[in-house]
Amino acid sequence: MKNPYLDLSPEVAAALAAHKPVVALESTIISHGMPYPQNVETALAVEQTIRENGATPATIAIIGGRLKAGLTREEITYLGKKGTAVTKASRRDLPVLVARGEDGATTVTTTMMIAAMAGISVFATGGIGGVHRGAETTMDISADLEELAKTPVMVICAGAKSILDLGLTLEYLETKGVPVIGYGTEELPAFYTRKSGFSVDYRLDSPEELARAFHAAREMGLAGGMLVTNPIPEEYSMDPAVIGAAIDEAVAEAGTLGIHGKATTPFLLAKIKDITGGESLASNIQLVLNNARLAAKTAAALEVLS
C-alpha cells in the first residue's frame, strides 16, 4: 500500500518499478553539514557519482510536509540556501512537520525510515551519529543507533563521527544486534581518519559480499539494518593528532556554551572546520563521494540477488 505522505520523483519511481538499483541519500548534510554553496555542489556531485556507478540517487527530505524520495536540482538548492533554518528532522519530528506542512532535512534516522517506506535498501552517508562523549551523564545518544536496530536498510558510511565516544557506540550497536562491517578493514574507521583502535564485527572485501550478507539477513526475516564502515581514501585521511586536537577543542567549547542535543553535531563540525582551516570539510566531501561509489555498486549487486 502506497504511503499517502510519500512522493517519489519520476526517476526514482521508474528505477524501483524496473527493479534497478537505487541509493538513498540524506539531506541534513545539505542543510546542516556544510556551508552554501559547497553543500549544493557536494549533493549534486554525490548524485552524479551514484549515476556513474550504475545506480539511481534518491536524496530524501521533507518539503512542504511531504516525504520526498528523490529531489530536483531546484529542491536541493532550496535546502542548501535555507541551511540551518530547515528543521533537522529525526523520528520524533516527522508527525508535526508533516501535519504542519513544513520542511525538514533528514538525518540518518529519518532517511532510513523514508527509504524503507519507498522500498530502497541501500543508503550512503558521511558518518552515523552515536553515543556522545559524556553520555553516562547527559544520556545524549543518537536516534541513529535505535533506527539501525529496527529498520531494514544497509547504511554505508565512513564510521561513526570521531566527535563521539566510539567505544560506547560500538557497545550500543552490539547490544541492539546491529552487525558492524568493515569494508576492506578489520578496524572501525573514524570518519576523518582510517583507524580508531576499535575492531569491527566482520571484514568484507567486495560489494558482492556486502550484498550477499544483507540479502541473507532479509531472507531470514531479521529485523534491523546493517552498518558498513568504509574508510576514507588514504590520500584524504587527516593526521589523527591534528583532528583529535581539533575535536577536543570543539567539544570543550560546546560544553562551555551549553550546546547539546541536535545542535551538537552541526556546531562541532563547523568548529572543527574553522580550527583545521577547512581541511576537515575537504575530507568530509571526499569520504561522502567514496561512500556513494560503494553504495551504488552494492545496490547493483543486491538487485541481482533480489
Residues annotated as catalytic (active site), given as ranges: 26, 161
Q: How far lies 96's CA from each of 89, 99, 103, 228, in Å?
A: 10, 5, 10, 31
Contact assessment for residue 198 and residue 169, using Cβ atoms and an 8 Å cutoff: no
Residue pair 30/43 in contact (Cβ under 8 Å)? The answer is yes
DSSP state of 91: G
CA distances, 123 to each of 23, 36, 57, 88, 294 (Å): 5, 23, 9, 18, 10
Question: What's the DSSP call for residue 226?
Answer: E
- Strands (DSSP E) contained in the chain are 6-8, 22-25, 56-63, 66-69, 87-89, 104-106, 122-124, 154-157, 180-183, 202-204, 226-229
User: What does the block give as the cell for 298?
Assistant: 552494492
